[in-house]
Structure 1
Amino acid sequence: MGEYLIVASKDPDGAAEPRSDALAALARSHGLTIRRLNESCWLATGGPNPARCHQVGPWTLIGDVLNRNRPRLPHGGPDDPWDYERKMLARFWGRFVGVRFGPRRQLEALLRDPSGALECVVWEQDGLTLICSHARNWLLDHLRPDWRINVERLTEALHDPLAGSGALLIDGPVAVSPGTVQPLPLASAPETLWSPAEIARRSLGPAPSLEEARTALRSALDEAAGGLAGLGGPLAAEVSGGLDSSLVAASLVCAARAPVSLWLNAYGTTPESDERVHARAVGQALGFEPLSVPHATAPLTAAGLQAMAAEFRPNAAVLDTPHDLAWARHILEAGAAGLMTGKGGDSILVQAPSAEVFVDLWRARGWKALRSPDMAELAAANEISLWTMVGAARRQRRTGHRPPIWDHPILTPLRRDPDVHPWLRDCDDLGPGKAFQIAGVADSVSHNNPTALSAMVDVRNPLGAQPVIEACLALPTWILAAGGRDRGLARSAFADRLPDLVLGRRSKGDMTRLYSRIILDNLAVIRPWLIEGRLAALGVVDPVAADVELTPGTLMWRGQYAPLLAAIVFEGWVRAWECRLGPADRAPPPARATAPASRVSA
């Protein structure tokens, strides 16, 4: 959705007020619309579907606010100072941040909705409190804040698949976490009002029947798709041919009955990235004809990589900028203002059920888990025996959860394990399958990071919305993997809406080779970009290893493209922010003990 900037004067009668007025004039000159929230605070909005204000009790909620169909209010009490806010986040969902004013109409607290659909970065400077969603050059050039890139955190983030939704890699501003309230001043400790682990503990109770679970999932997706479709403006929708976007399409057509002016399908040049047959089958079942267009690519350039990476967080989606620009053109030419996607489904619906799903069932039922007819199918899908899964279940109680980290030869080895993502710090009573699902939810927050597409079109992700997140987290993973299949519950819940060609397929569309081609075809740019770049100068990337790894033969033999793509994007991000803040330097890391993490080479 659109962008916002909030500026509040700590002393409206003091020296900060002229600085606030100058910023308002600057924001207006860059096309933003200014609205006074009170005499000491103003809001600037712009972009597609600009944020609106909603008054809920003492809170001004900025963005899209929707009523829950069947809210489940938490049990609070008079001793909980945030009882009202916990109930508010259960009654409403959407894409919003909130501000609350205290005595003398001074800003006293912020909050961010549980989905994390709107970024919320805050800092205090020269008597002002500033909160925003985007890192705009005009704003930072004017303010010149005293920030620095945290090289140690940057190093850890390159090894962390969940870095896209955790702490910022800059010392100075603070990112408010989803589902969290941040009292002001910023030295105050934040308060977590909502967490995935808290919702996931509902799955530890008596398991619902399969039919009850189907109803819960279908109702949640219908609520999310219908609510986001009703935000206004003509709609376009992604229909990749895969299951996730097909589920969203079914809810849009069958439940929301939303008018969609354009159904878009992108196909790659390899068989596994061309799903036009499946997209057409979905269209025939639901009554529309998808427009299939090639997945657009373009040669990488150093200037382009740096220009695309200037937001608060490094975002691998910037490598898809040519595709984003092509889709934006199709969507705008069709007269649409919003795009519904299927992003987030892989994680929340349990796309890749592993032996960890059996471990979850074993923790709940012990040896009775062997009676489940789905577990034999699960073992076969993972090409292991049922007894191997039993052994893994018995060992897991001794080893606990190990958050994954990336391991790649070009990355300098860590001197300590990274900080665990906040959402994974309180999962010891949950099984590893559920913990992995929560990690996926944390990763899905990054789908909302700004892109070239979201700058022109309001991108909406129903599968990353709070109703769907909560419904799926509250279900045991073995029910979500009903039949021992990936997204098994979703397949059966939508069996009356989607064609068997999509529901029954065992393969999944895969763009991996497309992104590997991006690296192979652009090695002339990528090699000096990383070998002679800022990450190498800071000791984050090993230039000698990069020289060996970034060759066609090694790439085709060894692969491991995900951490390489991350390194390419992080390099651009560092260069962009050093232009703003000055050169980064490495400080010695603080000593601390951490739990071991499991290495992956994705």
Structure 2
Amino acid sequence: MKPRYLFAIAHGHAPAPDPNLLARRTGLEVLHEHSSLAVLASSTCGRPLLHDRGVIVGTLFPRHGPARPFGVIDDGEAGLIVAGGGNSALMRCWGAWAGIFPDAGGYRVLRDASGLLPCYYAETPTATLFASDVELLLASGEVRPAIDWRALLRHHYSRGLPEAGTALNGIRELLPGCSIGVPGHEPGQRPEWTPWQHVAFGQDEHDTSAAERLRRLVFHTVGSWAATCSRPLVSVSGGLDSSIVAACLARSGRDVRCITMYTDDPAGDERSHARVLCAHLGLPLTECRYAVEEIDIDRPVSPHLPRPIGRTLIQAYERAHLEVARSEGSDAFITGNGGDNVFGYSQSAAAITDRYFARGFTAGLFTTFLDVCRQTGCGPGEALQAAWRTRRRRRYPWPCSAMFLDSDACLATGEIAHPWLEAPPDALPGKAAHIAALLRVQHVLDPGRGAFAPVLTPLVSQPLVEACLAIPSWQWRSGGRDRAVARQAFAADLPDAVLFRRTKGGPDGVSATILRNHREQIRSRLLEGNLARQQILDRDAVDRRFRSDMPFTGEEQVRLLDLLDSEAWTGIWSRKLADLTSQPAVHHAGPPSA
């Protein structure tokens, strides 16, 4: 089971909620209590870092030292981290954690930069509660939210841009790398870590050691996470990112098992690549089919989250992983998710612009120009035009989409923004896009199977993110290959069939099958469901599209299955919140302060 925690901070002179009562309601253990503070956590949180200057819960690793979590190494170092406050924690350790520190007559809660451990919070008349999951906030007996329909529309319109607001009114998310004070002496959340702090603009043009440094860091990072489990189940597809993780785990000394998913459509059948990889690494492989016939279109992918996050087809992926984990006795899931995002994958021409701004007209600029043409398959003229269009784009323009949504309501949602998108004046457009890509992976870090065993995503770990941000965008395209530095780093560890692979399959055929097999039911649920009643959908647009004989485009498939999952999510939460309303509550959630 994933780590779970609950912080309760009293307002003013009000007493904190009774920690023993919270423990009985949540099943957590009381770790620390003070007149105004209670800290509770599960045994899966590992050994907490406790000090009179703060408390940190979760999984923490030392920035420098052995690939093992705190709790089995020097407690003196742990004390220095907590005593130094949030900034010290961000600099001296990494992992998946949340911390609470004394601050200006109250406390400051900080979430680590990776986003690997969630942090949600809600206010009551007497306290602010912070928790790893919404179920703990509800179990406290203090919080009674409601579905925020406008926030749900905004979530779809912004295509899942991470924001503090959730689709449950009164429950907010503390964003990765941000802190918030209680009581609040300043409005909103304060960024304590930003990716722009780690972007280097003056790299040595002839530095060839980036790949070797990256290799050492990836092995250390994956090995650190492997030290937290005994028999991990690793998701592999034969693609680069999951293969790199598997290669590191093969040398970790753990009892590693692998799983790969395949579809009936040959385009989504990558078993041949997964077999080559596992044979090369000497790891056992289980092959599981996407069981489309078992998908329930009335069930959301992640009913435990305060916002819907996925397409309906993910049900089949989750079910297969749970079944294999149970049969193999796995105690953790490990994935290569986030590799594209962290390793600078791009199909744009911004690397040409970046190199021009950083180096001017040099021979290297022409090399990057050729690299972009080779990788994307575009012609010279097309590459030049695309690079020219990015020349003034210092700030990444996050793409919103009103497809099948009420367009007037979308325009009324307000500004779509995130602190990581606020680029400095000298930002390079390719690096701005790299940072924006880091935001896209955050919504997949807490899948439902985490209730069975922790889901570990090592490639999103803070040290790796920081190291990859420092590598220029054009180096990631070297030789006309995407993620070139990572490919070079693991050239000796992976089979050629994986290392030089240029195409990648996926389960898109499953999406088409779901829409084809359940066409009328999906149309009915969308046109007559909660999203339509709340004027989130453009009913006419949805109706016209389902009446057309034209095949759904890939973008339409994604949006329709997102909306279908959202419809199921609203059904689950409407019933759950109705049940909560019928029960007596200690307090009711008040309006959030940030």
Same fold at TM > 0.5: yes
Residue equivalent to 2:177: 179
> 250, 260, 263: which is aligned to 1:265?
260
Deviation per residue, 1:403-427 (Å, 9 max, x gap): 2334354112231564122211235
State how far apart, in whole Å, the 2-side matches of 1:469 and 1:429 are: 20
From 478, 482, 485, the equivalent of 2:481 is 485
Equivalent residue for 2:4? Answer: 4
Quick check: 1:127 aligned with 2:122?
A: no
Q: What corresponds to 1:152 in structure 2?
A: 150
Give the aligned partner of residue 22 of structure 1.
21
Is residue 94 of structure 1 aligned with residue 95 of structure 2?
A: yes
Where does the alignment leave 5 or more consecutive residues of structure 2 unmatched? 67-82, 579-594
Q: 1:245 to 1:2 in 2, by over 3 A?
A: same
Deviations 1:459-493, CA, capped at 9 Å, x for gaps: 11111111211111111111112212111111111
> How many pairs align?
559
AA paired with 1:396?
T
Which 5+ residue runs of structure 1 have no aligned equivalent?
Answer: 72-81, 583-602
Aligned residues with identical type, % of pairs: 27
1:359 to 2:358 alignment: no
CA distance in 2, matches of 1:61, 1:141: 21
Displacement after TM superposition at 1:157 (Å): 1.8
* Partner Cα separation in structure 2 for residue 42 and residue 338 of structure 1: 29
Aligned runs of 1:167-566 on 2, under 5 Å?
A: 167-186=165-184, 188-189=186-187, 190-200=189-199, 202=200, 204-207=201-204, 209=206, 211-254=208-251, 257-301=252-296, 303-305=298-300, 308-316=302-310, 319-368=313-362, 371-398=365-392, 400-407=394-401, 409-413=403-407, 414-415=410-411, 418-451=415-448, 453-550=449-546, 553-556=549-552, 560-566=556-562
Q: Is the 8 A contact 2:121 2:172 kept in 1?
A: yes
Does structure 2 conserve the Cα–Cα contact (< 8 Å) formed by 1:301 and 1:525? no
Structure 2 CA distance for aligned equivalents of residues 403 and 12 of structure 1: 41
CA distances 1:531-561 after superposition (whole Å, capped 9, x unpaired): 1122212221111111122357334357522
Residue 72 of structure 2: aligned partner: none
**Which deviates more from structure 2 when the two are superposed, residues 179-188 or residues 275-284?**
179-188
**What TM-score results when the alignment is normalised by the length of structure 1?**
0.84
The list of structure 1 runs, each at least 4 consecutive aligned residues, that deviate by more than 6 angstroms after superposition, is none
Q: How far is 1:251 from its partner?
A: 1.7
CA contact under 8 A between 2:234 and 2:259: conserved in structure 1?
yes
Distance 2:63 2:401 in 1: 42
Structure 1's 493 and 26: CA in aligned 2 closer, same or farther, altered over 3 A? same
The more displaced of 474-483 and 35-44 is 35-44
Tell me the residue number matched to 2:107.
108
User: Helix, strand or coil: the match of 2:437?
Assistant: helix
Q: 1:162: how far off?
A: 3.7
Let me know the Cα RMSD of the aligned residues: 3.1
Return the offset for 1:244: 0.6
Cα gap change, 1:406/1:521 in structure 2, threshold over 3 Å: closer, same or farther? farther
**Where does residue 591 of structure 1 map in the other structure?**
none
Q: Deviations over 1:32-64 (max 9, x none)?
A: 4444444654444448x3454123672211100
- Are the aligned partners of 1:3 and 1:134 in contact in 2 as well (CA < 8 Å)? no
How far residue 117 of structure 1 moved from its aligned partner, in angstroms, is 0.7
Q: Distance in 2 between matches of 1:13 and 1:477?
A: 52
Secondary structure of 1:96's counterpart equals strand
Q: Distance in 1 between matches of 2:41 and 2:273?
A: 39
Q: Is the alpha carbon distance of 1:209 and 1:253 closer, same or farther for their aligned partners in structure 2, counting shifts above 3 Å?
A: farther
Relative distance call for 1:558 and 1:484 in structure 2 (3 A) is closer
Q: CA separation in 2, counterparts of 1:35 and 1:70? A: 27
Question: Given the two structures, how large is their TM-score scaled by the length of structure 2?
Answer: 0.85
Secondary structure of the 2:141 match is: helix
Q: CA deviation at 1:211?
A: 2.8
Deviates more, 1:154-163 or 1:534-543: 154-163
Distance 1:259 1:540, change over 3 A: same
Deviation at 1:15, TM superposition (A): 6.5
Matched position secondary structure for 1:373: helix
Report the secondary structure of 1:354's partner residue. Answer: coil
Distance 1:339 1:137, change over 3 A: closer
